[in-house]
Amino acid sequence: MRVAIIVGLVMSSLIAGAAEAPAPLTAQLPDGITAAAANLGPADGAFRLDVSFPTVRGCEPGQMDLQVVHAGLVIVGNDYTAETRARAYASRKAELDAIAAKKINLWSKFKETAAVFEPAFIAAYDKPELLDQPTFFTIASADDQRYATGLQPARVTRYAMPRGNFREFLEVRGRECTAGTLLANYSYVFLPQPMERGRSYTITQGDGRAITFLFHEDLTVSRALKVNQSGYAPTVGRKFAYLGAWHAGIGPLDLSAWDGKPFAVVDADTRAVVHEGRIALVAKDPTVAIQKQERSGAGEDIYELDLSPLQAQGEFYIRVDGLGRSWAFKHHSDAIGRAFWLHLRGLFHQRAGHELTAADTGWPRPLAHAVAYDADYAPESALSVAPVRPFNAIEAHIKAHPDQQEREPTGHGGVGGWYDAADFDRRWYHYDTIFDLLLAYELNRDAFSDGQAATYDAGNGIPDILDEVAFGLLIWRNSQNDAGGVAGHCEQRCHPNSLAAMPTGRPHHDPEKMFFSARTRGMSLSYAGPAAHLARLIAPVAPDQAAAWLESAKRAYAFGMDEANHYQRDDYLGSGKPYRESDELIAVTGCAAALQLYLATREAPYLERAIALYPTMKPHLKWPIKFVHQDYWWAFGDHPDLPRPIRDEVRRRYLDAGDQVEARTHEKFYRSPIDQRSPWATTWGKAAGTPDARALAMAYGLDRAAKFRDAIALACDWVQGCNPLGLSWTSGVGSNYPWCFFSGESEEDGIVDPVPGITVYGVTGGIPMGARRQGFNLMAYDGKTKVWTTLKRLQPDDVAVREDDLCPHLPYWRGWVMDYHDAPEMQEYTVNETISPCVLAYAALLEPGWMPGPTLTGMKPRDPRFIVGLWPTP
């Protein structure tokens, strides 16, 4: 670890951007405000940021931040990670240089370096203790006479939490990479006098850092106001913004002064008021009981701002006297459209085995993983796990076949499908994504068109959302063998870069080969259903392609229905254990495939087979396979040939599920469809809310009830900003989104603004161990006693901490760690758990004929100065 090199990508880019002039305005400025005083962000991007940003002086850009809560309270952010590391290195330079010069293996060097450096860092990390002392801060104003001479705060409290990762050259990797936590300190500065509209204030700290900002309710965002940062659909009945704030580490911030007070919805261009309402209390610090533990849900008193009566369409913000404004949002079909488009982009950016060109995206990347080889391992599904897991199976296969040849001469068997997550595997679970896209299309056919996604799929006559389905299925079609069998897993022998062999974490730097799993009956039938479904949907516009998909589906079905092809091994890969592929998976996917082949061909034998298989399918449609929704298409639409009893039974089940989920959106909380009384943690993407909206979308597809559509919209609101953190959980969507998540491509593409369209797992209800040790406290590990010791508490004494690990007591939905190194379970994502459920939810609300405009299709990475999420709100 060469600790001297610490100025990361973010910092250098911020410096580079600082000299540019602010973008031109489209909106009128309020009287008496000049553009220079306001320091506005751009108004002409896909999301307008023409709100006032603070101006930082006296420290490295990016290491300081200011967030306004209301006229009497601002939150000053300070990050000392980089300078502390530099001082720590200087304090032990001779020892660290000596270790660096040693001829020992890299892992030993890493450990020896850490043993010297980490205590030095902890010793050097002293500034934060000043950050709750009123004498450390002076607030002055050139245009508010009350502050002419500079005043001290009435009160200051502080809090510390991780805000991302920094980058550093690591010899153990031989390159710069993400190495640790950016430690953010937040000082809650209670002002001695409330700020006045239109005045600028400078807070100067005892360490020489200073930050200047404007207070004006038309230009200054209050972080206590939460909106869907893309916006709301005019066609939806239930629309809300929220007011609430947590006094970090302490409890709900008292906002009762605004209870019953008016709010205005203001046109972002003309500043005309288009709607007025009154702020109303929803609940005082409501509790949740997720994981059977009753605790504060948001750490807030939650107030609502009812936007349901809003009639005007356009781009607006909410304004509240003495508080500030919200982020800009649309009340227009584009509000749904642009979020839908970006979620679909998330899949496009996860596409495997092909190049993303600069013509198609502002985040291009080269070709990778276009080749796949054959191996003989069992693909994993919800109903089958083999005794040897795929990584080990592939490793064994490589050892046994050192002369591995490409599967086909052209070598393009690896094209198609989506990277699962930060890793590059394509797997059976991705049929959930196929399902989401097919359902999206079936729900709302008139909303989807060719050219809508603005990629190279434009102009082929096929609605682009179905091109995405085709791309997802292509990997499996490419795996199809002469007998018709299809693989269900395309994997490598290890996670990317486990062997430290990649120059960066980007896909095209991955030297590991991809291997198809064995062709099994269950996987072939899993493929046959959606392939036939796709063929049916594109037949009117692309008959040749439809015929090819149908022919492939028929062959896969024939393979899957033939018992002679059953995959079984007496001694699976030398494990000494037998393996036999799951009969349950065959029953479930066989029935679904037969039904889809019937709907595509109207050939009676397929229907007869589907009806015969239904009784064997039904008992398996429970957890863990429930989420595959294999029986849904029996109930969707009104096919007179399908037996009425089956249709009614399936229909009832999905409507009941939809009713249960819809009921949750009436709880006195943020109206998400998430079960706030669930016995399970909100892991694996459930925190996004949109996975639960699948049940709503399916119910909506059956009876078109407005209550289901409205509840889907509330799920969209939750994931895009109507949540305690006021955060959009999707990169590129809205104003305030995660910037540092578990994606080698996004982290190492040289672009600060993250790859768009990625919805992270989010809050899981716990604080990951790594963040306890390096984010909320600084702990050291004794390799001899194997004990962790807290060397430095990062929280002040007045923040209640837990006895066992000194971590703060956090309300459930505040346990947010934007540090993928230490909290991968929050900063991971997958195409099927987070991205495609968002596509589906927004697709259900999309207006017929919607097309993106040029600011969206031409979307480029945001100037780092305006990446709000670099400093999350505590």
The residues of the shown chain that bind Ca ion, judged by CB under 5 A, are: 420, 423, 425, 450, 457, 460, 462, 464, 467, 746, 749, 751
Can the peptide bond before residue 768 be classed as cis, meaning omega within 30 degrees of 0?
A: no
Smallest gap, in angstroms, from Cβ of residue 460 to Ca ion? 5
- Closer residue to Ca ion, CB minimum distance, 496 or 811: 496
Burial 734-745 (b: 16+ CB within 10 A, else e): bbbbbbbbbbbb
Residue whose CB is less far from Ca ion, 234 or 362: 362
Residues 6+ apart with CB under 8 A from 234: 313, 331, 332, 333
Q: Which is nearer to Ca ion, 454 or 712 (CB)?
A: 454
Euclidean distance between CA atoms 683 and 767, whole angstroms:
12
Could you tell me if 426 and 479 are in contact, meaning their C-beta atoms sit under 8 angstroms apart?
Answer: no
Of 84 and 492, CB closest to Ca ion? 492
Nearer to Ca ion (CB atom), residue 392 or residue 460: 460
Q: How far is the CB of 531 from Ca ion (least distance, A)?
A: 18
Nearer to Ca ion, 590 or 685 (CB): 685
- Residue 519 Cβ, how far from Ca ion at the closest point, in Å? 21
Minimum distance from CB of 751 to Ca ion (Å)? 4
Task: Tell me if 24 sits within 8 A of 43, measured CB to CB.
Answer: yes
**566: exposed, middle or buried (C-beta count within 10 Å: 0-12, 13-18, 19+)?**
middle
Q: How far is the CB of 420 from Ca ion (least distance, A)?
A: 4
Smallest separation (angstroms) from Ca ion to the CB of 429:
9
Q: Are 501 and 479 in contact (CB under 8 A)?
A: no
The count of residues in the chain is 874
- Closest approach, Cβ 558 to Ca ion, in A, equals 30
Nearer to Ca ion by C-beta: 425 or 822? 425
DSSP string covering 208-219, please?
A: S-EEEEEE-TTT
Give dist(CA 369, CA 94) in Å, integer.
44
Asked if residue 237 lies in contact with residue 308, where contact means CB atoms within 8 angstroms, the answer is yes
Residue 138 or 836 having the CB closest to Ca ion: 836
Nearer to Ca ion, 707 or 862 (CB): 862
Measured CA to CA in angstroms, residue 574 lies from 377, 393, 402, 518, 788 at distances of 12, 10, 18, 16, 40
Question: Of the two residues 102 and 445, which places its CB atom closer to Ca ion in the complex?
Answer: 445
* Least distance in angstroms from the C-beta of 340 to Ca ion: 16
Q: Put residue 661 in one of left, alpha, beta given phi > 0 → left and psi -120 to 50 → alpha.
A: alpha
To the nearest whole angstrom, how small is the minimum distance from the Cβ of residue 808 to Ca ion? 30
Task: Please name the amino acid found at residue 855.
Answer: T
What's the CA angle centered on 71, arms 66 and 75, to 5 degrees? 25
CB of 425 to Ca ion, least distance (A): 5
Q: Give the nearer residue to Ca ion in terms of CB position, either 485 or 488.
A: 488
Region of 849 (left: φ > 0; alpha: ψ -120 to 50; beta: rest) is: left
d(CA 267, CA 235): 19
SS3 assignment, position 60 = coil
> By Cβ distance, which residue is nearest to Ca ion?
420
**Minimum distance from residue 95 beta carbon to Ca ion (Å):** 34
Residue 43, class by beta-carbon neighbours within 10 Å (0-12 exposed, 13-18 middle, 19+ buried)? buried
Beta-carbon-side half-sphere exposure of residue 310 (alpha carbons within 13 Å): 36
